[in-house]
Structure 1
Amino acid sequence: MSLRAEHEQNFEFVLKSLFAGGIAGMCSKTAVAPLDRIKILLQAHNKHYKHLGVFSGLQEIIRKETILALYKGNGAQMVRIFPYAATQFTSFEFYKKYLGNLLGNHTHIDKFFAGSAAGVTAVTLTYPLDTIRARLAFQISGEHIYTGIVHTASSIFREEGGLKALYRGFWPTILGMVPYAGFSFYTFEKLKFLCMRYAPEYLCNKCNRNTGGLVLTLPAKLICGAFAGAVAQSFSYPMDVTRRRMQLAMMNPETYKYGSGMFATMRIIYHENGIVKGLYRGMSINYLRAIPMVSVSFTTYEVMKQLLNLDTGAKL
């Protein structure tokens, strides 16, 4: 194969991988958008919902704000999640190949480091959109501060300190992303490997294009993704709570104290509410949303890889 043909093939692979990852992210986030919104309201102790649980909170949103309010902030989420997921999955393929060559593929530990690096790459590029989405999702009907994505971004930039304000909560996000993305990709890839090796007759289908000749069945993909989501969230959740409190700190004078820094915010959360009701507040809902979210994300990406003929191995 000529050098030009190889470059064209690599470029095609990157484009297809970006598209597959973006679609996977959009499907997964839309599937759990209502749970995402109530999680944000509970994490940041919104005065209208802090006394409620998951299902009573969802019912109250519908009663007070209509059923469409369950998806408040999801437009900003879609704007963020397509480039985020596209970057994450594509960079994972890149990091997986080169770390696999460097560390070897015997322990699958390269998948952990590749996943962590991919998560950090994606978060760094798309973090301001996550801040905007959180602000929009935290608003209650009749008490709106922001009118849309552009207004939210310009208001934060103009009134709260420029680009730095859009990255408020960035470091706890990065520290949480390393175990979250690392364990997500590691667990999924490890379970995928075990399924193909020890139970191919039950959990796999034949595929002539795949380098191993096998692909996971749809139920197997969903189950592997679900386990990956549960494992990853267990390690990274306190950083997620810290990030949300910092992102939303400037929306109310009573919560300004949460915008002073990562460790200061964690200390305040711990002193005020402890570990279970503070740093792990909303963990039950996070399992309810993270398990199907990661499951749908990995499953959609794997299906898209098959449809786009990407399951023959990365060409990067």
Structure 2
Amino acid sequence: MAKSVQHDNKGLQNAQIILTSLAAGAIAGALAKTTIAPLDRTKINFQVGHKPYSTKKALKFLIQTFRKEGLIALWRGNSATMARIVPHAAIQFTAHEQWKKILKVDEKEGKTPGKLFLAGSLAGATSQSLTYPLDLARARMAVTPKEEYATLRQVFWKIYCFEGVKTFYRGYVPTMAGVIPYAGVSFFTYDTLKRLYKEHFVSGESPHPLASLGFGAIAGMLGQSSSYPLDIVRRRMQTDTGGKYSTIVSTLKCIYRNEGLRRGLYKGLSMNWIKGPIAVGISYATYDNVKDLLRSIMIKYRRKSLYLE
């Protein structure tokens, strides 16, 4: 990926800015999640089960899945992931840019850590709220045999018929409780590192793609670590079909009592430290570079049109 060139978006209407953000976010989310899909499936299986997590056992799960079901099985549930992550990432990145505009984060008087954190939190809450049923469907497909849920449509149909509409938002509260610190910390860290990079290394230019990748990796690790127990809670509630996990508090108590802190509420965190930074790094770096590319093309096309006129 070539080094991106920053521009000030002069000549672009807000609708064009939103359109390029949506497109870049969709591409970034799809690329990032597809890359780490096998690791994501492994993490979810350990999160919702009672077996203790270890890197050796995670590797064993990947090998057994490959041997029994084939290579494609490692990406099982990825269609549901794509159906969720494409709109989720598109909305999240676009919402973040718009919330920053509303909160005047990029203006001199608005550049405060609190507003930067709030813009990220609101972006995460916006995208998660609009795409939550798809996240639940993805989790169900990742932890069940193919015979139970063969397609994404089948997941929605069975849940609607046998569990009711409310089930589509089971685990929503812990998800929102987790996404606020996660998105806030993640976007805050990434934007802060980018600003420091511009101030001390290449003033006025966007970071090199490798630098963006590194900033995103750090942001992802810090963001996911800040809200990980709630990620465990939401996965348990999403995949619970027997009514065992009904509330956040009861789920937390049940997991802690039966599995403990490290092996229960922080189960699979080391896997997240591998896949999280990879996914977030790819996502942020791809978004910034694709967004800048699309906007530079639009600006050039607009200038050419005005010249011909």
TM-score interval, normalised by the smaller of the two chains: 0.7 to 0.9
CA distance in 1, matches of 2:69, 2:114: 46
3-state secondary structure, aligned to 2:244: helix
CA distance in 1, matches of 2:35, 2:285: 13
Counterparts of residues 56-75 of structure 1 (less than 5 Å) = 56-75=60-79
**Identity among equivalent pairs (%):** 42
CA offsets per residue over residues 106-151 of structure 1, 9 Å max, x none?
Answer: 433322100100000000000000111111111235xx31121111
2:158 to 155, 158, 162: 155
Aligned partners of 2:116 and 2:188 also within 8 Å: yes
Query: Structure 1 150/7 Cα, relative in aligned 2: closer, same or farther at 3 Å?
Result: farther
CA distance in 2, matches of 1:182, 1:167: 22
Question: Does 1:295 find its partner at 2:281?
Answer: yes
TM-score (norm 2): 0.87
Question: Does 1:224 find its partner at 2:215?
Answer: yes
Question: Does 1:108 find its partner at 2:110?
Answer: no
Counterpart of 2:145 in structure 1 is 140
CA distance in 2, matches of 1:310, 1:108: 29
CA distance in 2, matches of 1:74, 1:119: 21
The one-letter amino acid paired with 2:232 is: V
Counterpart of 1:191 in structure 2 is 193
Counterpart of 1:24 in structure 2 is 28
Query: Structure 1 53/89 Cα, relative in aligned 2: closer, same or farther at 3 Å?
Result: same
CA distance in 2, matches of 1:118, 1:311: 26
Query: Structure 1 190/92 Cα, relative in aligned 2: closer, same or farther at 3 Å?
Result: same
Aligned partners of 2:137 and 2:152 also within 8 Å: yes
In the TM superposition, residue 51 of structure 1 has moved relative to its aligned partner by 11
Aligned partners of 2:198 and 2:204 also within 8 Å: no
Aligned partners of 1:109 and 1:186 also within 8 Å: no
Aligned partners of 1:172 and 1:262 also within 8 Å: yes
In the TM superposition, residue 52 of structure 1 has moved relative to its aligned partner by 6.2
1:176 to 175, 178, 183: 178
- Which structure has the higher relative contact order (CA within 8 Å, separation 6+)? 2
3-state secondary structure, aligned to 2:13: helix
Counterparts of residues 214-253 of structure 1 (less than 5 Å) = 214-250=205-241, 253=242
In the TM superposition, residue 72 of structure 1 has moved relative to its aligned partner by 0.3
Aligned partners of 2:55 and 2:271 also within 8 Å: no
1:90 to 83, 88, 94: 94
Query: Structure 1 262/275 Cα, relative in aligned 2: closer, same or farther at 3 Å?
Result: same
Counterpart of 1:204 in structure 2 is none
How many residues in Structure 1 have an aligned counterpart in Structure 2? Answer: 288
User: Structure 2 regions of 5+ residues with no counterpart?
Assistant: 1-9, 299-309
Counterpart of 2:301 in structure 1 is none
Aligned partners of 1:104 and 1:110 also within 8 Å: no
Question: Does 1:40 find its partner at 2:31?
Answer: no
In the TM superposition, residue 161 of structure 1 has moved relative to its aligned partner by 2.2
Counterpart of 1:122 in structure 2 is 127
The one-letter amino acid paired with 1:197 is: E
Counterpart of 1:274 in structure 2 is 260
In the TM superposition, residue 311 of structure 1 has moved relative to its aligned partner by 11
CA distance in 1, matches of 2:62, 2:25: 29
User: Structure 1 regions of 5+ residues with no counterpart?
Assistant: 1-5, 201-211
Query: Structure 1 291/8 Cα, relative in aligned 2: closer, same or farther at 3 Å?
Result: closer
3-state secondary structure, aligned to 1:117: helix
Query: Structure 1 308/171 Cα, relative in aligned 2: closer, same or farther at 3 Å?
Result: same
Question: Does 1:15 find its partner at 2:6?
Answer: no
In the TM superposition, residue 231 of structure 1 has moved relative to its aligned partner by 0.6
CA offsets per residue over residues 193-252 of structure 1, 9 Å max, x none?
Answer: 11111122xxxxxxxxxxx630101110111001001110111100100000001110xx
3-state secondary structure, aligned to 2:65: helix
